[in-house]
């Protein structure tokens, strides 16, 4: 979930089998030692922004489990445990449910055939944009909406995802009602009400930013994107995400924030 102010985050360290996870990047195998170091820097950045961070140990047999964002959608009212679109990841949710139940009431996506990944869910104001992708389907979105509709607060807008793994691979919030968005998504009428800052050509990976308590975390190696966001008035912290990029992961993937 993307909002602006948080006090808590849950993360999980990558395990020895990290390189066995799902990926389409074609960027080669990740270096586990470097991945752990990058994860440490990520946690340090969150802590500097006044976030209390729970760091979970690796989950044996679940090489993608460090990408905790996909396993839950945490709102002010409740935590919704997802049903990941990749079958190999469904075993990650019980562990996350047990942790989140310490902080929130917990609900589950459990409809037959319903799939949804947290990486496809972007909250801007009180509107949830839900990517319809290879990992998230309409049934998953509908069940998610049904869980939250009784709070009489949120709107739910589907967005077809043609490029990239998840919706947040191509659009994130960088300031209130301001989006950092790829050209491919910028013309989508769902985003018409918002100011759209276009990701520079060739730096599409940088679209996945993480806005935390007034500061924007951005992936290193994309100087044009960093400068564009600074020109928009964003306070930017750049973090190296090279090993997670190899595994189709990015900044938002590595934490659950609330």
Answer whether 12's CB lies under 8 Å from 54's CB. Answer: no
- Which residues of the chain fall below pLDDT 50? 1
What is the set of active-site residues?
A: 166, 253
The pTM of the whole model exceeds 0.75: yes
pLDDT of the residue at 164: 82
Q: What is the pLDDT of residues 224-258, one digit of tens each?
A: 999 999 999 999 999 999 999 999 999 999 999 99
Answer whether 58's CB lies under 8 Å from 68's CB. Answer: no
- pLDDT, the chain, mean: 96
Domains of the chain: 8-257 (3.75.10.10)
pLDDT of the residue at 4: 66
Answer whether 141's CB lies under 8 Å from 135's CB. Answer: no
What CA–CA distance (Å, rounded) separates 238 from 219?
Answer: 6
Residue 140 is given by DSSP the state H
Answer whether 162's CB lies under 8 Å from 131's CB. Answer: no
pLDDT of the residue at 214: 96
Neighbouring residues of 117: CB distance < 8 A, sequence distance ≥ 6:
70, 82, 84, 85, 133, 135, 136, 166
pLDDT of the residue at 163: 81
Q: What is the pLDDT of residues 90-102, one digit of tens each?
A: 999 999 999 999 9
């Amino acid at each position: 979930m993307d909002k602006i102010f948080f006090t808590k985050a849950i993360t999980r360290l990558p395990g020895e089998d990290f390189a066995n996870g799902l990926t389409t990047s074609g960027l080669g195998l990740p270096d586990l030692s470097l991945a752990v170091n990058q994860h440490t820097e990520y946690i340090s950045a969150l802590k500097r922004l006044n976030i209390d961070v729970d760091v979970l140990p690796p989950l044996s047999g679940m090489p993608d489990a460090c990408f905790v964002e996909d396993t839950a959608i945490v709102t002010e009212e409740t935590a919704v445990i997802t049903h990941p679109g990749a079958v190999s990841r469904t075993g990650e949710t019980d562990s996350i449910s047990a942790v989140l139940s310490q902080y929130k009431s917990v609900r589950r996506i459990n409809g037959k055939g319903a799939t949804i990944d947290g990486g496809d869910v972007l909250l801007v104001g009180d509107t949830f944009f839900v990517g319809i992708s290879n990992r998230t389907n309409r049934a998953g979105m509908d069940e998610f909406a049904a869980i939250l509709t009784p709070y009489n607060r949120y709107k739910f807008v589907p967005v077809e995802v043609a490029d990239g793994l998840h919706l947040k691979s191509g659009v994130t919030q960088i300031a209130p009602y301001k989006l950092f968005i790829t050209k491919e998504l910028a013309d989508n009428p769902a985003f018409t009400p918002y100011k759209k800052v276009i990701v520079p050509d060739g730096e599409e990976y940088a679209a996945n930013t993480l806005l935390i308590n007034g500061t924007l975390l951005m992936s290193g190696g994309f100087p044009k994107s960093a400068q564009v966001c600074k020109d928009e008035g964003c306070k930017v912290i750049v973090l190296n995400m090279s090993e997670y990029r190899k595994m189709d992961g990015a900044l938002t993937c590595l934490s659950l924030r609330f």
